[in-house]
Amino acid sequence: MSDSTQDFIQFAIQKQVLRFGEFKTKAGRLSPYFFNAGLFYDGESLMKLGEFYAAAIIRSGVQFDMLFGPAYKGITLAASIVIALARQGHNIPFAFNRKEAKDHGEGGTIVGAPLQGRVLIVDDVISAGTSVRESVNLIKASGATPCGVAIALDRQERGLGALSAVQEVQEQHQLPVVSIANLHDLIQFLENSAELAEFKPAIAAYRASYGV
């Protein structure tokens, strides 16, 4: 686990974006932890979040020309990431979509830079892969090329079959998925934290039941 990943997990816990307890997932499972990137809702949090994403993206080596943030969470994520990249000397354009097409002004569903070249999709997590599928279709329809997906946390949890949601995206769309942290990193973090060690058995048991 990189220092950046460890710092991100600590940061998410401090901001109560990553919480422990008992939470019902969309799949109806009782999860011992919950991650909600929508709770990064102040300037400092978004600034740091963008820096964590930028570090993971650069570390991955994925080559891209611009970012695309699917509405709604992807919008602020993409904006924070391009700001972080610009601070490092990489001035990258970004775009996002509207849920409903605008019928006046410039019209259309895409806001920001024209979708062109290699487009990296950014989102918080991948659950059912619906957001990625819609983004891929939008990007291809614009004549651009989806080149990967960047997310905050990979739960490494089985979907409907033997693969995780992330693995399904990688297989169906032939795209690399970059994450700041994953479930393995979280368990390793808990092992090294006396304060949070009590939560490790429940998360380890959950991984044994639903992990990949």
> Helix, strand, or coil here: 196?
coil
Q: Which helix (H) or strand (E) holds 145?
A: strand 145-154
Res. 182: pLDDT tops 90 = yes
Res. 99: pLDDT tops 80 = no
Tell me the C-alpha distance between 191 and 197, whole Å: 6
Annotated catalytic sites, by residue? 102, 104
Tell me the C-alpha distance between 68 and 81, whole Å: 11
pLDDT at site 130: 86
> Helix, strand, or coil here: 48?
helix
Q: Per-residue pLDDT tens for 48-58? A: 999 999 999 99
Burial degree of 201 (CB within 10 A; 0-12, 13-18, 19+): exposed
What percent of the chain has pLDDT above 70?
96
Work out the pLDDT band at 28, boundaries 50, 70, 90.
confident
CA 132 → CA 74, 110, 151, distances in Å? 11, 15, 11
pLDDT at site 44: 96
Res. 33: pLDDT tops 50 = yes
pLDDT at site 25: 83
- For residue 104, what is the DSSP state? S
Q: Per-residue pLDDT tens for 60-90? A: 999 999 999 999 899 999 999 999 999 999 9
Work out the pLDDT band at 103, boundaries 50, 70, 90.
low
Per-state percent for the chain, helix, strand, coil, to nearest 5: 45, 25, 30
Q: Per-residue pLDDT tens for 111-144? A: 999 999 999 999 999 887 788 999 999 999 999 9
Is there a cis peptide before residue 206, judged by omega within 30 degrees of 0?
Answer: no
Whether residue 80 contacts residue 46, with contact meaning beta carbons closer than 8 Å, is answered with yes
Domains present along the chain, CATH in parentheses:
3-210 (3.40.50.2020)
Q: Per-residue pLDDT tens for 191-205? A: 999 999 999 999 999
